[in-house]
Structure formats: C-alpha cells, structure tokens
Amino acid sequence: MTVNLFGESQQALAEIVSEFSDKPFHARQLFSWIYSRAETDLVRMSNLPRPLRAALSERYGISHPRVELRQTSRDGTVKYLLRLEDGKAVEAVYIPEKTRVTLCISSQIGCPLGCTFCLTAKMGLVRNLTAGEIAGQVAVLAREHSLAANGYNLVFMGMGEPLNNYDEVLAAFRLLTDPQGFGIAARHVTLSTAGVVPGIRRLAREDPRPRLAVSLSATTDALRNELMPINRAYPLAELFLSLRELPLAPRETVTLEYVLLRGMNDRWEDARRLASLAGRLPLKVNLIPYNEACRDGYAATPLESARAFRDALLSRKIPASIRRRRGADISAACGQLAILDPAILEHPIPVA
C-alpha cells in the first residue's frame, strides 16, 4: 500500500526525496507538481528524473478526497460529499457569485462545540481532518470548476471549529498560500471561529495568517452561554480583548457573524449592545438569516426586522450587511452542513 504525499510540506517532501536524490531542487519540483499543477501521477512529472519517479512510485502516491455526491441548488451553489482515505466523509461547498466564487471547506468531521442553533453540532466530533484532507477539498472543488489560483475566495466555515484543529488547519493554510503551492493570496482566506480565545491569540502571531471571522450571535453572556456553550470558557469580555490584541494590517477588519434568531437576539437593544461591544475595533458585521431547517425551537427573523437591525448598526457607524442565503434547498447554507446518517458518514453511497 502506497503512502499519500498530498498534504506533505515542502520540508517533509525534501526528507522523502533525499533518500533517492541528492539534489534539493527535486523536492521543490515535486511540491510544485503536487500543489501548483495539481498532478496526481508521479510518472507524468516530466522534469523529475525517470529513476526518481520510478522509485517514488513504488512507495508513494498522490490522491485527493473522492467526490461521492454532488447536490446543486437552484441558486447555483453545489454541495459535495467527499470520501476520505479511511472511508469517512466530509462536506464542502462551492458558492458562485456575480463577481467572485467562494469555496467553503471543513476542518473537522462534525464539531464538538454544541452550538444549539447549528445542525453540524448534532454530529458531535467524529475526528479532526489532516492538512491534506483540508487542502484536498480545495483541490477537488478547484478541479471540478476549473478555478485558477486567486480566482476564488476560501472560507473555513464548513464543519468544525478550525482553531480546535489549529496545527493541521495552519499547515493546510501554508500549502494553500505558498506561491509554489496553490498560490492563493492570504487575504482571500477567512477562518471562522466560535471564539476559541487561545487560538485567536496564537493566530495573532502567524505571518501570514488568514482573515478572521468570529461567530458571535449574542450580545450578553447569559444568552451566548445558552446558544454557544464555548462562551462559558471564553466570555464576551475576554473574546473582545483578544480581538483588540490582533495586529491588524491597514484596512484589515474582523468580521462578526451574527445569526439572527426571532425574538431572541434581534431586538433594538441587541443592536445597541453589539455596537457598544464593537467599540472602535476595525470590524464589519455579517448578519446571517437563520436557516429554519437546522434545529427545532428557533425561527428566522423576518427580513424587515433584519433590515431594521442592520440599519440600527449602520446608524452607529458599524459596517453591517445581511448575508444572502445560499444553498438552503440542498442543506448547504450556514449551519446546515451535517452527515447525520452513520451509514453515509462511514460507508460509500451505493450506486443505483
């Protein structure tokens, strides 16, 4: 059985290649073939010596997650069920817009945080994804839609809490942003967290690093404790202190993601408190309509009320917008990614 090279760093590839070649540039060429040129056949890597290709092929291979199911929304969004090497599955989403494409990828299978309005939380945590499995989602979706590097935005907003899988997520980020790898500009990558403060502080020391989005969805500790149990460990004051410590570049902002829940967090006083929490922090607020198929006991804020909430923020000089719902008819919208059937999660879907 061969070992999959996809997901290995340039340093790791150099150690592997050194067994067969004393020329360091061969590892750089191999790295470029795997990530920049998306080649999965070692034999076709024509600028590597034939004996090196043959030797590598005996022990190693290159493979991406396998597309098992595509679901296409009326709005053009496509949700993918991807099968991994160990047989487990994960979901990723392609979202086309008029002026850009966004790929939404997962960092874990399931999620351990238990946010009560999120369907992914019902899965619990199955396992973390490896750097190769994370970057592999990007490779598959880019291939499926013939996307060029920097021809799309990338968001870690699928299944899982990225900062709870920090090392593998950042290893994938480095592969994705390496000029000799995927070549994606770091400013086109956004990582969304539910508020893992130690991870935010660790991320602040990375250079480059992805843009940061924080799932907030409440303006008091009492309500956020109820909706997002992670707040009990990292309450609002501590969370916003960590955000103020971020060394933001000029014109860089933090995004606050705020799921609007009817009668719970969508009142005028919630908007006022949100503006107060924001203070002078360079940020923007992304108001997210709740997708009612997610969890029982919650309802979506009516559009008119959502607009009033947005306008209340704008009147206080807080940049705010309402996210357009995408892919809800195929359960690909915010909070809807989940594989709740163990048979689908663990085993391939039978072909009819």
Integer Cα distance of 78 and 352 in angstroms: 21
Active site residue 91: yes
CB 5 within 8 A of CB 13: yes
Active site residue 334: yes
Residue type, 174: R
User: For residue 327, what is the DSSP state?
Assistant: S
**Paired strand residues for 96:** 101
44, 93, 168 from 37: Cα distances, Å: 11, 22, 22
CB 313 within 8 A of CB 320: yes
Spell out where 178-262 has E strands: 189-193, 211-215, 254-260
CB 310 within 8 A of CB 298: no
Integer Cα distance of 82 and 89 in angstroms: 5
CB 224 within 8 A of CB 256: no
Catalytic: which of 238, 294, 334, 346? Answer: 334
3-class DSSP state of 303: helix
Catalytic: which of 91, 133, 161, 257? Answer: 91
Integer Cα distance of 240 and 157 in angstroms: 20
**Paired strand residues for 274:** none
List the catalytic residues. 91, 334
